[in-house]
Amino acid sequence: MTGMQADSDNTEPAEDLVGVPDGFERLWTPHRMAYVKGERPSKDAGEGCPFCAAPHKSDAEGLIVHRGEHCYVVLNLFPYNPGHLLIVPYRHVAAYIDLDDDETAEFTAFTKQAVRALKASSNPAGFNIGMNQGDVAGAGVAAHLHQHIVPRWGGDMNFLPIIGQTKALPVLLEDVRAQLSDVWESAC
């Protein structure tokens, strides 16, 4: 054993236990490591901003649920719950007060339509709706305004986010995007 001996009370050295089943299930989410490490996208408009880049991709590749004239609706790449949507203006602005009247109207209309579409596709019991403006307010991409719409169900929270910094999601993003896209127009 490296630098330590097993206690005289018959405790086995840790290296003897590697690979031995221990009764725990493991949920491996290596794709979240960039988020955990705080590797945030660039604050500049263009290729470095994920919200400027997404509209240039196909809907399926960009996880886009709906496109409008001034804004679009996209699934959060790091969702809190299945169906976690973002309402995003095409224009690279940081603050809600920077939206013009047409952008504000579509931003608001898409928020309402997102709630209707989520109700139609997955029937959540409630919603968290909001914006984090600025780094100190918790915005992951502070330079490009976006509003979160998080569907909530009773019992959707467990110990994983608290002790493991992991969220278990029972549905794949592409499946959620397809479900929401299918009901979007009828959810007006």
Q: Which residues are catalytic?
A: 146
Q: How far apart are CA 115 and CA 136, in angstroms?
A: 27
Cβ atoms of 60 and 174 within 8 Å: the answer is yes
Cβ atoms of 146 and 51 within 8 Å: the answer is yes
Cβ atoms of 92 and 45 within 8 Å: the answer is yes
CA 136-138-141 angle, 5° bins: 105
